[in-house]
Copies of this chain bind each other. A is one copy, B any other.
Amino acid sequence: MKQLNVGILGLGTVGGGTYTVLKRNAEEMARRTGVNIKVTHVADKNIERANALTQGEVNVTDDAFALVENPEVDVVVELIGGYGVAKDLVLKAIANKKHVVTANKALIALHGNEIFSAAQKMGVMVAYEAAVAGGIPIIKALREGLGANRIEWIAGIINGTTNFILTEMREKGLAYQDVIGEAQRLGYAEADPTFDVEGIDAAHKLVIMSAIAFGMPLKFDEVYTEGITQLAQADIQYAKELGYIVKLLGITKLTDKGVELRVHPTLIPEKRLVANVDGAMNAVVVQGDAVGPTLYYGAGAGAEPTASAVIADLIDVARLKDATITQRAPALGYQADQVQDLTVLPIAEINSAYYLRMYATDKPGVIASVTKILADRGISIDAVIQKEQPSDTTETDMVVLTNKTVEKNMNAAITEIEALAAVTGNVIKLRMETLG
């Protein structure tokens, strides 16, 4: 039987999972592919950990650069993370005509254009199924399974940490500050959770899906990103009363004016399947012009779910390493010379429905004034809640759901609303998607 020699860079959580699953299911995979996919080399700074796991069955080194130069290695699996040394190693592996599999979303999101271009020149594959939504085979679905479609939009819960936190906030009525500690204790959030809770990790994944869906270069710098740290419990509860659930969504849409590319807390109707994706799970909704809406759900992180995606890529490499470039699915889903620069819309230019909350004197006049401000800008209202005022004050929360408008129009309306004498403080604005 033919053998594919795999060199793994980084034997941490995902690297260890990949090693374990490849060993456990070796026979099954050989039956599928007709190839013996075998880890022959490992590079890790922690030699002891690597030796303990690989039990002398593999060449272990602490010199990652030696591994990517090693002529015995057919494919390099980069599981170090980040975009410092990982980038150098991936480019070096490509220069040495090695195929590359990586789970590194930051690397692909920021340096994918350069990496894919280098791979194209050398005729090698760079596969990255594990970089988006962990074990869910969403890259393959977008790039191959839905290849007949013009993709219209994608909306995904693509960060498990924030989905866990939002689920806890909704179910237990707790504030963000009260949940983040629990998430850290349970291992769902890191000691410094910034990347996750500020939406940066989701932005990495979103920009990758956007590029594949629309055949455009990766434009990480142009993703609008808003996290969940400022999200108030009150808004989660009011949304619930109105039949909506708040999720951190990565959303990308192809419009006549350009591409929307944004990560932010979003109200979704509770009847939508994706609204019911709870805890640390991920799900991606893809709308194609022929297929309509489809949804892909699974674990977005974890050792073995991520390994599942890494190994799916290895199976593709095992099959197609000696194939011609046109026999492989192209790196970004489109032939390299067919990737087109598309304009990414600034957030002020996107189109959305909105949830607004304001703190106002409980007078009939307030609703009339707010309605007029919105109507003058062509924004119609879908629903209003005005809470009974507490006994010790004449002010109360007023919540308005609007129809769709351009965001800058909504922002101008909000400025006018905030100038009303009866309204105290800032208007809270959340975006809303029907995903219908």
Contacts and interface: CB of A to CB of B under 8 A. Distances in A.
Interface of A: 17, 21-22, 24-25, 28-29, 31-35, 129, 135-137, 140-141, 144-150, 215, 273, 276-277, 283, 288-299, 302, 304-305, 307-312, 314-316, 319-320, 322-323, 326-330, 333-335, 338
Given A141-B137, A215-B31, A327-B320, A308 B273 contact: no
Contacts of A311: 147-148, 290
A290 B273 contact: no
B296 A296 contact: yes
A299 B28 CA distance: 31
Contacts of A25: 148-150, 289-290
A319 B312 contact: no
Contacts of A294: 135-137, 296-299
Contact of A305 (B215, B291, B309, B320): B291
B298 A297 contact: no
A316 B273 contact: no
Contact of A308 (B31, B291, B295, B297): B291
A369 B37 CA distance: 58
B141 A145 contact: yes
A342 B145 CA distance: 29
A141 to B, nearest CB: 5
Contact of A32 (B17, B28, B298, B330): B330
Contacts of A315: 144, 147-148
A144 B148 contact: no
A290 B135 contact: yes
Contact of A319 (B32, B273, B326): B326
Given A31-B334, A31-B335, A149-B308, 10 more contacts: A29-B148, A35-B326, A273-B277, A290-B307, A291-B305, A291-B308, A291-B309, A292-B304, A295-B298, A319-B328
A17 B289 CA distance: 12
A120 to B, nearest CB: 13
B149 A145 contact: no
A-B residue pairs, 9 tightest by C-beta: A137-B145, A148-B311, A294-B298, A135-B291, A291-B308, A31-B338, A295-B297, A290-B304, A290-B308
A14 to B, nearest CB: 12
Contacts of A141: 137, 140-141, 145
Contacts of A146: 137, 308, 312
A319 B35 CA distance: 21
B297 A273 contact: yes
Given A289-B25, A290-B307, A319-B327, A32 B145 contact: no
Contacts of A329: 319
Nearest to A329: B319
B32 A335 contact: yes
* Most B C-beta atoms less than 10 A away, residue of A273, A277, A310, A333: A273
A305 B146 CA distance: 10
A34 to B, nearest CB: 5
A34 B140 CA distance: 18
Contact of A335 (B33, B135, B291): B33
A19 to B, nearest CB: 12
A97 B406 CA distance: 55
A298 B292 contact: yes
Contacts of A335: 31-34
Nearest to A318: B326
A327 B315 CA distance: 10
Contact of A148 (B276, B290, B312, B328): B312
Contacts of A22: 148
A267 B81 CA distance: 43
B304 A291 contact: yes
Contacts of A24: 289
Given A31-B338, A33-B335, A319-B326, A298 B293 contact: yes
A291 B146 CA distance: 22
Contacts of A296: 294-297
* Most B C-beta atoms less than 10 A away, residue of A144, A288, A328: A144
